[in-house]
Amino acid sequence: MLRDHRGLSLARRIKAICWWCHQQIAHPKSDAWLAAHELGQQELADWYQHAWQYAPQDLRDPDSMPARYGTGIDRNAFHEH
């Protein structure tokens, strides 16, 4: 899903994942409930730091970011056939 959302910040990408997952459950809560229970910036940063810290070393690029999350530019986004 995130491969099509290149311009979002890390926090927005994580929130998009949480929202999408929530919408897939049988009886999702209201938008007001989601807004009242959303993760704060510090919680998101902590989650990301934890995931990065425990990512296998071979999945990191030279800039020390997890390499498998697809944050680069997608050629197909610019060159449609």
1-47 residue pLDDT tens: 555 666 777 778 778 888 888 889 999 999 898 888 888 888 888 88
Host domain of residue 45:
2-69
**45 located within any domain:** yes
User: 51 or 56, which is more confident?
Assistant: 51
Contact 78, 6 (CB under 8 A): no
User: 1 or 57, which is more confident?
Assistant: 57
**15 located within any domain:** yes
**79 located within any domain:** no
**76 located within any domain:** no
The number of domains in the chain is 1
- Sign of the C-alpha dihedral, residues 18, 20, 25, 29? positive
* pTM for the predicted model, two decimal places: 0.51
pLDDT, residue 27, reads: 92
**60 located within any domain:** yes
| Mean pLDDT of the region 46-54 | 80
**80 located within any domain:** no
